[in-house]
Amino acid sequence: MDVELLRQLGERLLALQSSQCYFGFEGRAVVSAGSLAHHVSWTAAILATFRPTIHLTRCADFPSHLSWSADLILNHIELNALKVDWIIDTHPHADHFSAARDLNSCLNVPTATGAEVVRIQELWKSFYHLGDEFLTDGTQWDHLFVEGEQFKVGGMTAEVMFSPGHTMASISIRIGDAVFIHDTLFMPDSGTARADFPGGDAQQLWRSISRILDFPDSTRLFTGHDYQPGGREPLWESTVAEQKASNPHVRGQDETSFVRMRNSRDRRLPMPKLILQSLQVNIAGGRLPEPEANGQRYLKIPLNLFDRPAWS
Ligand SMILES: [Fe+2]
C-alpha cells in the first residue's frame, strides 16, 4: 500500500478515534478501539507491541460498509508496524458491534473476554430464543479471563480485574500504573456508565468503581467512551486523584447515594438504538448469524422486550 496513503489513513484513525486509543505506553502500544461512529460501529481492545511492518488483508464476513472503523484500526497497526498480542472484549457492548472476530480473522491472535460472559450469553440467548446451536460456554472467544489472571503484552505483565455493574461480565485491565477501565468511570466531567442493561447492577458498579479508586492517586485511568460534554475535544485519560476530586458521581457519594442516583438517572435513559442488533452479534464474540438457505444473514429483533423505547 502506498506510504502516503497509509500516513493519511493513520492520521484519520487518530482523529476519528482519539477518544478510544491509547498509545505510547512504556514504549509499547496499547490500542482500544471503541465506538467510532454514532451508527453501526465496531469495538475491540487490542494489546499490541511493535513488530516489523506487515501487510494485512481483510478476510472476514462483515461487509465493507460495516467494517470501515475496523479497517482504520488495521491501517493504524500496519502504519505503525505494531505486533498485536491480544484482541480483548471488555464486555459485550450494547450499542455497537464487536470487531473482535473480524480483527482476529485478519490478525490471527487470540481473542479473550471475561469468564462471566457465559451468564450474559445465557440471559440473551433466552431473550433471542436462540436454539441449542448457540453455545453459552464462552467458546466463541479463544480465552476467558478469570479474576486476577495475568497475561503478557510483549514484556509487560497485564492483570485482569473483574469490574461488573455496567454488565455482569465487565473486566478492567491493569498494566503498571495504567488501568483500562472501559465503561465504569467516564472522564471526570462525564460521570459513570449506566447500570440498567439486563444483568446490570448499580451496587456492583459502585463496588467496581471503589476498587478502581483504591489504586494510588497517580494511577492513570483510560476510559472507554467519551461523550464530549459541551462539545469539548475528546479525552480518554484521567487519574484516580482527578476522579475523586471532580467526578460528580463519585465525589461526596457513598454506596447508598450512588445507587439511588444511578438508578434514578438510568430510569430516564432510553435503551441504545442498536442494543438488539448488537447484542446478538456481540454475545457470539462478534460473529454474524450464519446465512440461511438463501444465503442471506438475518438478525432477530424481539418486540416489546423493554418497557421503554429502544431508541436514543
Ligand atoms: Fe458498554
pTM for this predicted structure: 0.82
The alpha-helical segments, DSSP class H, found in the chain are 3-16, 68-79, 100-107, 117-128, 202-213, 240-246, 255-267, 275-282
Q: What is the DSSP letter of 141?
A: S
> Residue 64 — very low, low, confident or very high, per pLDDT cuts 50/70/90?
low
C-alpha cell at 14: 487518530
**What's the CA gap between 23 and 271, in Å, rounded?**
32
- In the structure grid, which three cell numbers stand for residue 99, read together? 470487531
Q: How many angstroms does the Cα of residue 223 sit away from the middle of ligand 1?
A: 11
Nearest C-alpha neighbor of 179 from the set 165, 167, 161, 205: 161
Which of 37-46, 105-114, 142-151, 215-224 is predicted least confidently?
37-46
- Four-point Cα dihedral 138, 140, 146, 151, nearest 10: 170
Q: 203 vs 19, which has greater pLDDT?
A: 203
Give the distance (Å) from ligand 1 centre to CA of residue 225: 8
The torsion defined by the Cα of 92, 97, 100 and 103, in degrees rounded to 10, comes to -170
- Looking at domain 3-275, its CATH superfamily turns out to be Ribonuclease Z/Hydroxyacylglutathione hydrolase-like (3.60.15.10)
Q: Taking each helix axis as running N to C, give the angle between helix 255-267 and helix 202-213, from 0 to 180 degrees, rounded to the nearest 10.
A: 130
Distance 183 CA to ligand 1 centre (A): 5
| For range 20-25, the mean pLDDT | 33
Q: What percent of the chain has pLDDT over 70?
A: 77
Bridge partners of residue 86, in order along the sequence: 47
Q: What is the pLDDT of residues 121-158, one digit of tens each?
A: 999 999 999 999 999 999 999 999 999 999 999 889 99
Output the CA 209–ligand 1 centroid distance in Å.
15
**pLDDT confidence tier of residue 12, bands split at 50, 70 and 90:** very low
Q: Which residues contact 122 (CB under 8 A, 6 or more apart)?
A: 136
Measured in residues, the chain has a length of 312
Q: How far is the CA of 184 from the centre of ligand 1 (A)?
A: 9
* Whether 131 contacts 6, CB under 8 Å: no
pLDDT band at 311 (very low <50, low <70, confident <90, very high): low
Dihedral class, residue 304 (left if φ above 0, else alpha if ψ from -120 to 50, else beta)? left
Kindly give the distance from the C-alpha atom of residue 26 to the centroid of ligand 1, in angstroms, as a whole number. 27
Cα 178 from Cα 270, distance rounded (Å): 33
Q: What is the mean pLDDT of the chain?
A: 82
Give the residue ranges of DSSP H helices in 88-192. 100-107, 117-128
φ, ψ dihedrals at 21, nearest 5°: -115, 145
Residues 6 or more apart from 37 whose CB is under 8 A from it? 69, 96
Q: Ligand 1 centre from 56 Cα, in Å?
A: 28
Q: Do the beta carbons of residue 106 and residue 59 sit within 8 Å?
A: yes
pLDDT in tens, 66-91: 667 777 888 888 888 888 899 999 99
Q: If you measure from the C-alpha of residue 94 to the centroid of ligand 1, how many angstroms do you get, rounded to a whole number?
A: 6
**The three three-digit cell numbers of residue 184, written as one number:** 465504569
What's the 123 CA to ligand 1 centre distance in angstroms? Answer: 16
pLDDT digits (tens, 9 = 90+) for 251-310: 999 999 999 999 999 999 998 988 999 999 999 999 989 999 999 999 999 988 887 766
Q: What is the pLDDT of residue 43?
A: 38
User: Across residues 196-214, what is the average pLDDT?
Assistant: 97
Q: How far is the CA of 194 from the centre of ligand 1 (A)?
A: 8
Distance 91 CA to ligand 1 centre (A): 7
Q: Is the pLDDT of residue 54 over 70?
A: no
Ligand 1 geometric centre to CA of 35 (Å) = 10
pLDDT at residue 160 tops 80? yes
DSSP string across 234-245: P--EEEHHHHHH
Query: Grid coordinates standing for 84?
Result: 498485536
| C-alpha cell read off for 114 | 471475561
CA–CA dist 56, 261 (Å, integer)? 46
Q: What is the pLDDT of residue 16?
A: 31
What's the CA-to-centroid distance between 167 and ligand 1, angstroms?
A: 7
Ligand 1: centre distance to CA 196 (Å): 11
Instruction: State whether the Cα torsion 96-144-33-168 is positive or negative.
Output: positive
